[in-house]
């Protein structure tokens, strides 16, 4: 029970427990999560001892401080587990995926590739979509080409927001989109051919 010879000095300084708790009275949470209420520190420590457990201060800033009756080893394990989860979430790298589209292809192929882009956004990634232009397409008017790229965006079965507006790029036109769960996914237009997905 309590600190052992394997407990580091830093842990001892960070965690207040049992007689190391300085408050005169504390709010106590029992071993099963029950709210025991506000009691003098001596009584709280006595309750923990009688249960064969420790009294650990879990919220020093509260008034009065909140303490929990639990096993220190279990508390230490749960705390480290939460720290690892927070660290894992913060360390998650958001990539910018890339997809290339062309003018003219079958609706079936378009749906497959649009679904892949939607999947990337659900994973938290940005997606850069290039409308690849070659030959005579390079000399077409910008509004016409922009409208073709917008048709492709409209069939993506996932809500999104524009992170970087449609503009000219070395390959032709490009746009960057992010997932946006707060908006309804756009519906595909019932019009003529949309740009072809060349590679993803």
The alpha-carbon radius of gyration of the chain (Å, integer) is 29
Q: What is the CATH number of the domain that holds 46?
A: 3.10.20.80
Q: What is the CATH number of the domain that holds 143?
A: 3.30.110.10
Give the integer Cα–Cα distance in Å for 21 and 78: 20
Give the integer Cα–Cα distance in Å for 177 and 146: 15
Place of tokens 């749960």: 78
Domain residues for the domain of 120 are 96-199
Backbone phi, psi, residue 29, to 5°: -105, 125
Say if residue 26 is in the same domain as residue 59.
Answer: yes
Q: Is residue 1, in this structure, part of any structural domain at all? A: no
What is this structure's pTM? 0.47
Give the integer Cα–Cα distance in Å for 97 and 179: 12
Task: Please say which residue of 65, 88, 111 terminates a domain.
Answer: 88
* pLDDT tens figures, 22-51: 999 999 999 999 999 999 999 999 999 999
Backbone phi, psi, residue 192, to 5°: -70, 180
* pLDDT tens figures, 69-122: 999 988 988 888 988 888 776 655 668 899 988 887 677 887 888 999 999 999
């Amino acid at each position: 029970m309590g600190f052992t010879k394997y407990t580091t000095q830093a842990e001892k300084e960070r965690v207040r427990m049992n007689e190391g708790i300085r408050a005169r009275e504390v709010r106590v949470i029992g071993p099963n999560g029950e709210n025991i209420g506000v009691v003098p520190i001596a009584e709280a420590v006595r309750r923990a001892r009688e249960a064969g457990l420790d009294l650990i201060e879990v919220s020093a800033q509260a008034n009065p401080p909140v303490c929990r009756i639990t096993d220190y080893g279990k508390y230490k394990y749960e705390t480290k587990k939460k720290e690892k989860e927070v660290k894992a979430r913060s360390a998650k790298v958001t990539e910018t995926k890339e997809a290339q589209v062309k003018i003219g292809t079958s609706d079936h192929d378009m749906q497959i590739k649009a679904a892949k882009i939607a999947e990337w956004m659900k994973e938290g990634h940005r997606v850069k979509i290039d409308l690849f232009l070659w030959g005579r397409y390079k000399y077409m008017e910008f509004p016409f080409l922009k409208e073709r790229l917008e048709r492709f965006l409209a069939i993506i079965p996932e809500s999104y927001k524009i992170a970087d507006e449609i503009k000219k790029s070395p390959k032709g036109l490009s746009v960057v989109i992010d997932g946006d769960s707060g908006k309804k996914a756009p519906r595909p237009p019932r019009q003529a051919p949309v740009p072809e997905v060349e590679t993803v």
